[in-house]
């Protein structure tokens, strides 16, 4: 029994040392496992953050595209309106010219006839104001080739050079869009 006891004692002596070594290895393994789990979760978090950033970028781009679309559509609507007004007014301008000519020629006409022409001219002027239509090309204005077509030129001591001496036909515009250029005579 001595041997067995000594053997057991030897086993008992060996077991605590081996147990310490085993517990140290066991302690290292969970730390490595925790690190591995931590690295895996960090990778997942990084991947999720990248996916979130990609989705956020898509949403921001979509919002920007929508804002651009809305702005472009509003501009197109305004342009369509301006074109429709200018096309319509382009057809009405000759009537306005004829009313102006009739007013000039009606100086010797009966008063009722002249008042009727003036009322029509005033009504047309008010309609043009509502549509933001302005006329240009008056005697004494500075000549501007963007607004005026010079048909002829004269020498004059009364007017400065590059001014309008005579207006053959008024010009009209809607906002900044020219409907018809004024036909004028200029001073050299």
Specify if 172 maps to a domain.
Answer: yes
Other beta carbons within 10 angstroms of residue 92's beta carbon come to 16
* Tokens 């309609």, residue located: 127
pLDDT tens track, the chain, 188 positions: 445 555 554 544 555 555 555 555 555 555 566 676 778 888 999 999 999 999 999 999 999 999 999 999 999 998 898 888 889 999 999 999 999 999 999 988 999 999 999 999 999 999 999 988 999 999 999 999 999 999 999 998 888 888 999 999 999 998 888 999 999 999 98
The phi, psi pair for 102, rounded to 5°, reads -65, -40
Specify if 18 maps to a domain.
Answer: no
Residue 86, pLDDT score: 87
Specify if 38 maps to a domain.
Answer: no
User: In the beta sheet, which residues pair with residue 153?
Assistant: 186
Specify if 80 maps to a domain.
Answer: yes
Specify if 83 maps to a domain.
Answer: yes
Give the residue from 176, 88, 182 showing the smallest Cα distance to 128. 88
Specify if 14 maps to a domain.
Answer: no
Per the structure, the count of domains in the chain is: 1
Specify if 100 maps to a domain.
Answer: yes
- Whichever domain contains 97, its CATH number is 2.30.22.10
Domain of residue 131 covers: 50-187
Distance, CA of 5 to CA of 36 (rounded, Å): 45
Residue 4, pLDDT score: 52
Specify if 39 maps to a domain.
Answer: no
Is the entire prediction scored with pTM above 0.85?
no
């Amino acid at each position: 029994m001595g041997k067995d006891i000594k053997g057991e004692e030897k086993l008992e002596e060996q077991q605590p040392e081996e147990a310490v070594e085993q517990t140290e290895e066991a302690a290292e393994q969970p730390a490595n496992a925790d690190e591995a789990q931590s690295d895996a979760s960090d990778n997942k978090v990084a991947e999720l953050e990248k996916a979130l950033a990609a989705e956020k970028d898509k949403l921001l781009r979509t919002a920007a595209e929508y804002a651009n679309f809305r702005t472009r559509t509003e501009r197109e609507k305004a342009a369509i309106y301006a074109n429709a007004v200018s096309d319509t007014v382009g057809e009405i301008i000759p009537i306005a010219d004829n009313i102006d000519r009739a007013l000039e020629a009606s100086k010797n006409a009966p008063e009722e006839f002249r008042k009727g022409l003036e009322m029509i001219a005033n009504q047309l002027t008010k309609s043009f104001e509502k549509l933001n239509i302005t006329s240009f090309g008056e005697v004494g204005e500075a000549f501007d080739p963007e607004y005026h077509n010079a048909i002829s030129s004269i020498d004059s001591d009364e007017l400065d050079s590059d001014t309008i001496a005579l207006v053959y036909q008024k010009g009209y515009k809607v906002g900044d869009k020219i409907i018809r250029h004024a036909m004028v005579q200029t001073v050299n």
